[in-house]
Structure formats: structure tokens, C-alpha cells
Structure 1
């Protein structure tokens, strides 16, 4: 600073020294621990860098749309996947494949591979819910379509009974509003829960389930019963790959062994409801039994519900390739 006078230079140096001391004090204070900040790992992004430096292609293989109990249309879901940089997604609506064709068409336009999928609701033992995912099957196979139609009709009947029981319990909810919320999709408890939330009966979707819609609640109605093994058979006969959903949450290894004998080739290892210990356990289980370890966000995109979004849980695109190779579907 040659243009400054000696006095000004001295004053400037004092200001600089004061600033450095202040910064040192601020750094060591509880307001900002720089060492701790530096130690915090960056949040894992949807597109991870591989060892070679290229971006890894990722897939979210468990997503719901308005064809069942999701809040977004198949096209909107595909657009969200494209925005998230996903290479592929699985459309796995409950007991219906009505959203598959729209999603596939949107995927072709937006550069996202859409895996035809479904999540079939089944009952094991004493009313234990088991969800069987299916991938890469002929979604127009007559036997599969017939059974899904039966399940869809059973969902409608169940929805009406839930509303009737809630009315009897003093909750003035209408089935007409539930069907409006479903937007033509297969009716499920989330639609009833959203109606309860909309009316102000509850403050969250989870509260609707906890107070009214879970087993023992005033609005609970048992499901139409199809066994997990029958669900596996339906998927396999349609040329698809059967996969047991959220296995760590289910925690029924004896069932998985039995379903493997029926033709199940995959289990869902990565899921938002799985803890790290459960994920690691079933990764080893899949490797031991030569099962394909799938995963996905189980995104419904419902305001006031679970916060997991499209791409929130992913697997390597290599899993998609393994599922495709295991499929016997030529469509």
C-alpha cells in the first residue's frame, strides 16, 4: 500500500490484526466450528461418481402414481425422475398396471427407462401383509390382468366398508370424496387418509393411519386375501421377476426361503424404512441365496405423508440389467 501515509499504514495493519483475532475467536466459538463443518461429508447425490470418475447410472425401482395411491401422474413421475438424473425407474402401483403405458411413453420422450412393474398385496399367516413386486413382465397377460381386476374390485369394496365404519364411529367422511381423491386409481387406505386430512380430522397422514386405519382402528377393514406364493406365480407366469418388498420391515426369512422355491428371484434390500443394519443383513442374505438386491424410494409424493421423493433411494443401473436378464418376457 505505497500510497498510504505511515500513520495510515499503521492503522490499516491494526485493523487487519483485529480482524484476524476476531475471526480466530469466532472460529473457536460454538457458533461455527470450522473443523466440524469440514468433517461433515457432502450429502450423497443421486448421481454418484464412480472410481473411474464417470457418473454412475442409478435407478429407483419402487414408485407409485395416481394409478393407485400416489399423488402424481405417471408422466409427472417420469419428469421428476428425469429432473433427478435417474437412468431408470420402476412403476410399481398397488394391484394395477394401469399407469405403465403412460409412463413408458413419457420415458421415451424424456430419456428415462421405465421398467413395467406392480406391487401385489398379499396376506401371509395370521393377517401379515406381504407386498410382492413384479418387474419386466407382460402387463397385458390375461391371467395377471384378471387377478389384478379382482384385487382392484376388492379394493373398491374395502374402501366403501372403511368409509361406512368411519361413519358409524362418528366421522362424517364420504366415499364420493375418496374416489375423487383417487382420481380413477385403485382405491387404498392412503386415499381415505387424505380425505381425513382434508377434513381436518387429523393433522397428518400418519395420524390418520395410527388413529383410524391400522388394524384395530375404527376404520380398518381386512384385505382381500391372496397368498404371497400365488402372487409370485402370477408374476412368473407373465414372464416377470418376482421380488419381495421391504424385507427388513417384514422380517420373515422363512417366508423368503419358501418364496424362492416358488420362483422368486429378488428381494428389496434398499428401502426408506430399512435401517443400515437391516440393509446390510439382507444384502448378505441376497448374496448368499443368489437373489437380485433391488431397492427404491417407495415414493407416493403425498403432501403430509412420507417425505421420501423420487430418487430418494436408488440402486445401480446394473440391477435393472440383472432383472431384465432374469425375465422370460419377450414383450
Structure 2
């Protein structure tokens, strides 16, 4: 494969958080898609990285150790911060992720309690089984809702029960975008704001640059071509790197994407390496 043809998917989830595939299966899917590199960016956990790195050694797919930290700006603006080439054994990072994992578990318990009170007989033990020991997320609850026939699909379960204004909505534990970026950078990683067109808060991006933002994700399944072009120009004007990826969860959902659905040139990986001092 010529260098100019090499592609990378820099936003993928495994069953260490709310994806359907194991880290090994994700790497196998990347190899089948002829990708040169992928980033494992699970929500608030690094538990899948070592397995993915081992699979990468077996297949020749380069695995970028990463993360996606869920942050809240102000009262309710959800901001997802991607970290690339982090040291996933860095203790202060692991300590904070432990806090976030506990908060996700407690949120999951409260969601189930509220659903039960609303007459939706979701069982917590089943939600935990679906999480397979990883961080508990709303997609696990949604899958349990579908299993009992209370919704026809994961998307329907979210719309009926898990978004703001519905019986199962519970606010998440709050960490600020600036705090998330500090964790990423202190662990040796590159801080990137995820799906910026979906966020649609350009003034916030400018503020985040002052706090240490180094890249933005301009290529994403939810971004139109026009949006990607706009944010590519936005990044160039402000000296930011541009990343992209499928945000693959590989779920049985109308909106779920697969590994390799959105990619960027491999040179982006090289740029991230330089920024991370690798």
C-alpha cells in the first residue's frame, strides 16, 4: 500500500465502553477494511487498549491509544474530548477515569430505577451483563429496553426513554472540557474536540484553543461535506490539526456505523505522533 493511499479511522468504540465488538474484533475489522491505523477511543475508559495493541501487533494495523472523555460546558452543553497517543497507564488519568466509571455505574442504576418507576421493567443485572464489565452507558440500557419489547430499536429506546424530558433521563457527572484536556495532555496525549459540527459551538472552540485544544474532528458520519470543509478551514486558520473517524459502535441500530466508514489520510496519524512527541 502506497503511503498516500494509507487510511486511518481515528474514532472507534469497543465493548470496553458502549461498542458491540471486542478490541480484538475491532482490529480484525480494521484489517479487513485495509486500514493502516485506528484509534481506540472508548468513553471514559482505557480498558480495551492493551487488547487492541496486541491484536495490532498480530495484524499489522497500527493502534493509537486513545480515549473519548465526556465533558460538560456550563450547565448542559455536552462536549466530547478525544485524546490521541495517551499514556494509558498514567496513574492520575486512571484515577480520574475510575471516578467517571463509578459515576457511570451510579447513573445507570438511577436510570433503571426511574424506568422501573415509570413501568418499564428493565433489570439492572441485564444492563450490567450487556456492559460486559466495561463502563455502563445508555446504549446498554437501550439494548435492555429493546430486549423486553418496550422499544422497537435502540434509536427508539433513546427517543422514548433516555433523552432529556423522558422517564429515564439522568444528568451525567460533570467534568469540564478544560479539565478533560488537561488530563489528556498530562498523560502525553493530543487533545481534540470531537464531532465539532454536531457540537455547533464555534465560540466555545475558540475558548478551548486558549485552554490547550490542539485538534478538531472535522470528518464524522454526522457531518455534511460542507461542514467538513468549513471546519477544515476553521482549523487551518487557527493552527489546529484535523482528524476524523467513523465513531463506530457496530451496534444493531439505524444510525450505527462500522469500522472504516469514515477515514482520514495516514499523514494525520504522523502529525499526531509529532504533536505527542512520539
Same fold (TM over 0.5): yes
Runs of 4 or more above 3 Å deviation: none
2:272 maps to which of 302, 323, 327: 323
Question: Which of 178, 196, 200 is the matching residue for 1:251?
Answer: 200
Q: Which of 144, 157, 164 is the matching residue for 2:113?
A: 164
**3-state SS of 2:181 partner:** helix
Which runs of no fewer than 5 residues in structure 2 stay unpaired?
A: none
Say yes or no: does 1:96 pair with 2:45: yes
Match of 1:87 among 36, 47, 51: 36
Query: Residue by residue, what CA displacement relative to the aligned partner does 1:219-248 show, whole Å, maximum 9, x if unpaired?
Result: 000000000010001101111100000000
Given that 2:244 and 2:262 are in contact with CA atoms closer than 8 Å, whether structure 1 keeps it comes out as yes
Give the structure 1 partner of residue 148 of structure 2: 199
Q: 1:265 and 1:55, CA in 2 relative to 1: closer, same or farther beyond 3 A?
A: closer
User: Using CA pairs below 8 Å that are at least 6 residues apart, which structure has the higher relative contact order?
Assistant: 2
Report matched runs for 1:3-82 at 5 Å. 56-82=5-31
CA contact under 8 A between 2:218 and 2:232: conserved in structure 1?
yes
TM-score where L is the length of structure 1: 0.82
Aligned CA distance change for structure 1 residues 84 and 56 (closer, same or farther; 3 Å): same
Deviation at 1:304, TM superposition (A): 2.7
1:290 aligns with 2:239: yes
| Unmatched runs of 5 consecutive residues or more in structure 1 | 1-46
Once the two structures are superposed, residues 101-160 of structure 1 have per-residue CA deviations (whole angstroms, 9 ceiling, x without a partner) of 000000000110000000000001221111000000111111111111100000000000
Q: How does 1:262-273 map to 2 (within 5 A)?
A: 262-273=211-222
How far apart are residue 303 of structure 1 and its match?
Answer: 1.1
- Give the corresponding residue for 1:126: 75
In 2: Cα distance, 1:179 partner to 1:305 partner: 23
1:302 is matched with 251
TM-score (normalizing by structure 2)? 0.98
Judge conservation of contact 2:17–2:135 (CA < 8 Å) in 1: yes
- Relative distance call for 1:259 and 1:55 in structure 2 (3 A) is closer
- Find the aligned partners of 2:9 and 2:264 in 1 and give their Cα distance: 7
CA contact (8 A) 2:4 2:265 kept: no
| 1:213 pairs with 2:123 | no
Map of 1:180 onto structure 2: 129
Does structure 1 conserve the Cα–Cα contact (< 8 Å) formed by 2:114 and 2:168? yes
- Rg: which structure is higher? 1
Which digits, 9 at most, give the CA deviation of each residue in 1:262-310, with x for residues without a partner? 1111000000011122111101001111111000000001113523110
Residue 276 (structure 1) aligns with: 225
Give RMSD over aligned pairs: 1.2
What CA distance in whole angstroms lies between the structure 1 residues aligned with 2:78 and 2:218?
A: 18
Partners in 2 of 1:254 and 1:100 — Cα distance? 33
Instruction: Look up the match of 1:140.
Output: 89
